[in-house]
Amino acid sequence: MIFTAKSAEFLRWAEEKERNIPQNIDGISVNIHDINNVKTSEIAKIKETINRYNSCIYSSSAPLESNITLLKFAELVGMRTYDCNNLESNEISTITPVENNKINYIPYTDKPLNWHTDGYYDRKPIFSWLLHCVNPATQGGENYLLDHELALREYVMRHDDINNLLAADALTIPESKDTSRAKISTYIFSFENQYKKLHMRFSMRKDNIDTSPKASAAIANLKRIIENDCGKYSLTYKLQKNEGIITNNILHGRNAFKDDKVKRKLLRIRSYERL
């Protein structure tokens, strides 16, 4: 795929993208009567929303009965194989502040999480994720979302060429002794996957990530675009009980939060399938 601002391919793609820019949270929201027993028409509406916007927020009138029903729901949406690289080594990870968090993974604290895609440090690409809210935080903990395709579109319109961000060594994440993960070099943008759709590996964090000298100017531009020029495309939302977000691993982040007696608790599923 040739992605320069004037290429016919890009113009066609960018035009279609322009018709699918979410205007507000309502535009990506779907109500479902019972997450444990979801209707075919509700699943179709969720899939249609993800197909247009790469994300969807669902709201269930009934509370989740068990982790098994959450996995069944995820499967109906299109997830089939799951990443289990998490604290519990499980298909579902419970995202809640953990005391004595030895490895000190930020997701399991009350700290903010800056813009990133999930699994940018994993060899096997994560194509989708789901976050289901069991308990919201008393204060803060909003998630913010930005369709990575819109970030790419904005980048190409301003800087034309994404070659340096397609390079296989654009980012290098050194090995982690804590998690026994080997060093990995990766692209930031790639269309080379079975879906021929954009997959993005990115994190705004500065520590623990090296950028190739060739890509560093492009990465600085990309960061500026995400922070300064994509406000019009990003959405911020605080999930309430029985609500969740499903995305094609778009860019996202989280605000810091404070809890009272009941801790913020979200269930997370990451899958190798694009939805």
Please give the Cα distance from 250 to 53 (Å, whole number): 10
CB of 10 to Fe ion, least distance (A): 28
The amino acid at residue 119 is G
Other Cβ atoms within 10 Å of 247 Cβ, number: 26
What are the strands, taking DSSP E only, across 105-183?
113-116, 128-135, 139-140, 143-146, 171-173
CB of 113 to Fe ion, least distance (A): 6
CA distances to 132, 165, 202, 222 from 219, in Å? 31, 7, 10, 5
| Minimum CB distance to Fe ion smaller for 118 or for 273 | 118
* Residues of this chain that bind Fe ion (CB under 5 A): 118
Please give the Cα distance from 55 to 244 (Å, whole number): 11
| Minimum CB distance to Fe ion smaller for 38 or for 150 | 150
| Minimum CB distance to Fe ion smaller for 118 or for 147 | 118
CB of 1 to Fe ion, least distance (A): 26
| Minimum CB distance to Fe ion smaller for 118 or for 154 | 118
CB of 44 to Fe ion, least distance (A): 27
CB of 18 to Fe ion, least distance (A): 26
| Minimum CB distance to Fe ion smaller for 164 or for 247 | 247
Other Cβ atoms within 10 Å of 240 Cβ, number: 10
| Minimum CB distance to Fe ion smaller for 118 or for 149 | 118
Q: HSE, CB side, 13 Å, CA atoms: give it for residue 17.
A: 20
Please give the Cα distance from 275 to 54 (Å, whole number): 8
CA 273 vs. chain centroid, Å, equals: 13
Q: Look at residues 151, 158, 93 and name the one whose alpha carbon lies nearest to residue 119.
A: 93
| Minimum CB distance to Fe ion smaller for 3 or for 53 | 53
Please give the Cα distance from 267 to 131 (Å, whole number): 6
Please give the Cα distance from 104 to 87 (Å, whole number): 10
Please give the Cα distance from 4 to 11 (Å, whole number): 9
| Minimum CB distance to Fe ion smaller for 128 or for 242 | 128
Written as six digits, the tokens of 32 are 């479902």
CB of 69 to Fe ion, least distance (A): 23
CB of 83 to Fe ion, least distance (A): 12
Q: Does an H or E element contain 118, and which?
A: none
The residue whose Cβ lies closest to Fe ion is 118
CB of 40 to Fe ion, least distance (A): 29
